[in-house]
Amino acid sequence: MTSANTSDPISSAFDRQSLRPDCGNCFALCCTAFGFSRSADFALDKPAGTPCQNLDQDFSCTIHDSLRPRGFRGCTAFDCFGAGQNVSQQFFAGKSWLAEPDTKDDMFAAFKAARQLHEMLWYLVEAGRRTFDPEIAGQAERLRNTIEQALGGDLTKLLSTDAQDLHSHVRCILMEVSEEVRASYFAAGGEHLDAALKPGADLMSRNFRSRRLCGADLRGAYLIAADLRGSDLSGVDLLGADLRDARLEGADLSSALYLTQPQLNAAHGNQATRVPADLDVPSHWHNG
């Protein structure tokens, strides 16, 4: 088991820029390692460990520019947090599973393991930046260092890393920082102090249009098709919240907590929607 306690200094190997996907340096691991079932997000069934039927020999997607209208919007809402290029280029030295088929199982297993660790790093970077407590910031740095060591080692070390143990430590840090940040909004009071606004709440299709929701804890909440147009979500904890088809036009998410690119990609918004500086406005928002 990998220990989450280390006093080694944090490295700069993984910042949020390196935790963004670089598909040109990946062997389409998201299109092969994972499986999916036919649903509103995927137009067909695909077993795990097999290439998608839309994958080309050069690892590009033959329908990349029309994924959503072709029934593959789930692909547009996926993010590997940079794990794909790390596994492809570092752990397998730029040699693809297609060129060396014997590496396929190990490469796919490494991708699944690395993606979990990369996602933890994504959240830890934010937690370290947003905490007001130097001690918590130090804890976040030490956890980052532990995870980076696993990602910077060999394949055996990566696959033997206890991701569940690390996840429990990371979760504690994220919750502490969330309480800190949200408390600064609670002090001013506000209409968001609503019993319905709680972690894991079923808020599907609810109308929160033009509401000041600052500091609400919506961790793991179901906000599918919720109307959040023009709302202020500053300091709102959105860790793991389901934003599929949520209406975010004109909403302010620039200071929301733990927001990810997949969450934005699954929602609807426009150019008036404010998003965090290190996230992108999804391309389908431009078309309105």
Question: Which pLDDT belongs to residue 76?
Answer: 86
Question: Which pLDDT belongs to residue 195?
Answer: 80
Question: Which pLDDT belongs to residue 4?
Answer: 41
Question: Which pLDDT belongs to residue 283?
Answer: 87
Burial class of residue 242 (count of CB atoms within 10 Å of its CB; 0-12, 13-18, 19+): buried
Question: Which pLDDT belongs to residue 77?
Answer: 85
Return per-residue pLDDT of the chain as tens, 288 residues: 333 433 343 444 567 888 999 999 999 999 999 999 999 889 999 999 999 999 999 999 999 889 889 999 889 889 999 999 999 999 999 999 999 999 999 999 999 999 999 999 999 999 999 999 999 999 999 999 999 999 998 999 999 999 999 999 999 999 999 999 999 886 444 444 578 899 999 999 999 999 999 999 999 999 999 999 999 999 999 999 999 999 999 999 999 999 999 999 999 999 999 999 999 999 889 765
Q: What is the DSSP string of 27-76?
A: --GGGTTS-B-SSSS-SS-B-TTS--TTB-TTS-BTTGGGTTTTT-HHHH
Alpha carbon distance, N-terminus to C-terminus of the chain: 48
Instruction: Walk me through the domains of the chain, giving residue ranges and CATH numbers.
Output: 80-182 (no CATH), 188-288 (2.160.20.80)
Angle, helix 104-130 to helix 163-186, in steps of 10 degrees: 30
User: Dihedral (C-alpha) 282, 151, 13, 119: value to the nearest 10 degrees?
Assistant: 30
